[in-house]
Amino acid sequence: MFKTIEWTNDGVRMIDQTKLPSEEIYRTYTDYREVAEAIRSLVIRGAPAIGVAAAMGVALGIKHSAARDEAELRADFEKIADTLARTRPTAVNLFWAIKRMRDTFERALSSCQHEPSGFGKVRAALEKEAQRILAEDIAINEAMGRHGADLMPDAGIVLTHCNAGALATAGYGTALGVIRAAVACGKKLQVFADETRPFLQGARLTAWELAKDQIPVTVITDNMAGHFMHQGGIGAVIVGADRIAANGDTANKIGTYSVAVLAKENGIPFYVAAPLSTIDLSLASGEQIPIEERSSAEVTQLAGVSLAPAGVPARHPAFDVTPQRYISAIITEKGVARAPFSDSLRALFAG
Ligand code: MRU
133-153 burial: b if 16+ Cβ within 10 Å, else e: bbebbbebbbbbbbbbbebbe
Nearest ligand 1 atom, CA 45: 4
Q: What is the pLDDT of residues 49-85, one digit of tens each?
A: 999 999 999 999 999 999 999 999 999 999 999 999 9
Question: pLDDT class for 115, splitting at 50, 70, 90?
Answer: confident
User: What are the domain boundaries of the chain?
Assistant: 5-142, 146-350
Q: What distance in Å separates the CA atoms of residue 12 and residue 99, rounded to the nearest whole number?
A: 19
Quote the ligand 1 centre to 114 CA distance (angstroms).
38
Is residue 116 scored above 90 in pLDDT?
A: no
Quote the ligand 1 centre to 137 CA distance (angstroms).
15
pTM (global) more than 0.95: yes
Q: What distance in Å separates the CA atoms of residue 194 and residue 191, rounded to the nearest whole number?
A: 10
How far is C-alpha 118 from the chain's CA centre?
34
Q: What is the pLDDT of residues 193-244, one digit of tens each?
A: 999 999 999 999 999 999 999 999 999 999 999 999 999 989 999 999 999 9
Is residue 331 scored above 90 in pLDDT?
A: yes
What's the pLDDT score for residue 113? 85
Average pLDDT for the chain:
98
Q: What is the pLDDT of residues 232-280, one digit of tens each?
A: 989 999 999 999 999 999 999 999 999 999 999 999 999 999 999 999 9
What's the pLDDT score for residue 303? 87
What's the pLDDT score for residue 157? 98
Using DSSP, state whether 11 is helix, strand or coil: strand
Secondary structure string (H, E, C) spanning 112-141: CCCCHHHHHHHHHHHHHHHHHHHHHHHHHH
Is residue 351 scored above 90 in pLDDT?
A: no
Establish whether residue 204 lines the binding site of ligand 1, counting it when its CB lies within 6 angstroms of any ligand atom.
no
Nearest ligand 1 atom, CA 274: 15
Residue 40: which H helix or E strand, with range? helix 32-40
Establish whether residue 322 lines the binding site of ligand 1, counting it when its CB lies within 6 angstroms of any ligand atom.
no
Nearest ligand 1 atom, CA 173: 15
Query: What's the CA angle centered on 88, arms 162 and 78, to 5 degrees?
Result: 145
Write the CB contacts of 166 (distance below 8 Å, at least 6 apart in sequence): 1, 2, 4, 172, 173, 176, 209
Quote the ligand 1 centre to 167 CA distance (angstroms).
10
Q: What is the pLDDT of residues 12-43, one digit of tens each?
A: 999 999 999 999 999 999 999 999 999 999 99
What's the pLDDT score for residue 240? 99
Write out the catalytic residue numbers. 242
User: Looking at the domain 146-350, which fold is it?
Assistant: Rossmann fold (3.40.50)
Q: Which of 1.20.120.420, 1.10.540.10, 2.30.30.760, 3.40.50.1820 would CATH assign to domain 5-142?
A: 1.20.120.420
**Closest residue (by CA) to atom 15 of ligand 1?**
164
306 by Cβ neighbours in 10 Å (0-12 / 13-18 / 19+) ranks as exposed
pLDDT more than 90, % of the chain? 97
Q: E strands, the chain, where?
A: 5-8, 11-15, 26-29, 155-160, 188-194, 217-220, 234-239, 243-245, 250-253, 270-273, 279-280, 301-302, 305-306, 319-322, 329-332, 335-337
Question: pLDDT class for 1, splitting at 50, 70, 90?
Answer: confident
What's the pLDDT score for residue 114? 81
